[in-house]
Amino acid sequence: MHESQTLTMPGGRTVGFIDFGPADGIPVLDCHGGPGSRFEPGSRVPAATEAGIRFIGIDRPGYGLSMPWPDRSIADWVPDGLAVADRLGLDRFAVVGSSTGASYALALASLAPERVSAVLIACGITDMRWEPAMARAQKVGGQMYDIWQSPDRESALAVALDYWGNDGLKVASQPDNPNNPPLAAADLALLTDPTILMSMLEDLKHAFAFGVQGYTDDRIADGVGWESFDIAAMTCPVTILHGEADSIVDVAWARHTQDLIPHSTLRIVPELGHLSIGAEVIATLKPMLGL
């Protein structure tokens, strides 16, 4: 049984994390989606362990065991990731960033290039300073764009609460809500797997440990784009993995991220969506780690 751990940052803020092992595996820090938690990589741990990969899940502020941090930027999180790596004695490690977590993975590799050996982005959000991305978000509508346009955190929290509910289950209980994007067929099929579904529900429970604070602060941070770090400072290999049928993060955003990172590799998988892309993470990660 893998046990959750905490550490205390300067100033007294608590950060939660979990080391899925194995101890002799190649370490990979996992930057979860939004909403999400340290448990997000749990469903792929068996395959990762067999491949010799050691996942470490970390709660961002406002999720799981990590205390909320209003007005944080994307780059502000980087010391949390490094503190977890230091606690575990990891000099170098790879990073996986899924969806919202993509920005945090790239910030970590940009601000600590000597520590990060590789970055894998899975259906990641792009730099929202790119006008076509924000224009598409406006056209699609829904709570993400409304949060990005909120005048202050209080208003943004209200938007998130109305959509998710305080425990995150409001979306699941309202499948016909027009604000819910239609999921790809591969994503819907994934939700019929009881093991995967239980893992996702467990993750959701921890994701809303502080209500909608973590999710709201994620959206506020990424709504201004990648202004808090310079991706040109990255030196490691970067692979951008995206499902062509992703209805939540448009595949055009993956292509834009590749344009921003000239040395990156883009892999688009037909028919897979935002959730089902997780099935390709281990296979994509293995050659990046020399496995």
Q: Over 180-213, what HEC string results?
A: CCCCCHHHHHHCCCHHHHHHHHHHHHHHCCCCCH
Kindly report the backbone phi and psi dihedral angles of residue 241, in degrees, each rounded to the nearest multiple of 5, phi listed first.
-105, 130
Q: Is 106 helix (H, G, I), strand (E, B) or coil?
A: helix
pTM value > 0.85: yes
Measured CA to CA, the distance from residue 121 to residue 134 in angstroms comes to: 20
Residue 1 has pLDDT above 70, yes or no: no
Counting the structural domains of the chain, the total is: 1
Range(s) of the domain holding residue 195: 4-288
Which pLDDT does position 177 carry in this prediction?
A: 60
Q: What percent of the chain has pLDDT over 70?
A: 96
Peptide bond into 35 cis (omega under 30): yes
Q: Return the half-sphere exposure (C-beta side, CA atoms, 13 A cut-off) of residue 84.
A: 29
Q: What percent of the chain has pLDDT over 90?
A: 82
Residues 6+ apart with CB under 8 A from 172: none
281 closest CA partner among 267, 262, 260, 261: 267
CATH number at residue 81: 3.40.50.1820
Mean pLDDT, residues 258-279 taken together: 96
- Over residues 96-127, the pLDDT tens digits come to 999 999 999 999 999 999 999 999 999 999 99
- Over residues 185-241, the pLDDT tens digits come to 999 888 888 887 787 788 888 999 999 999 999 999 999 999 999 999 999 999 999
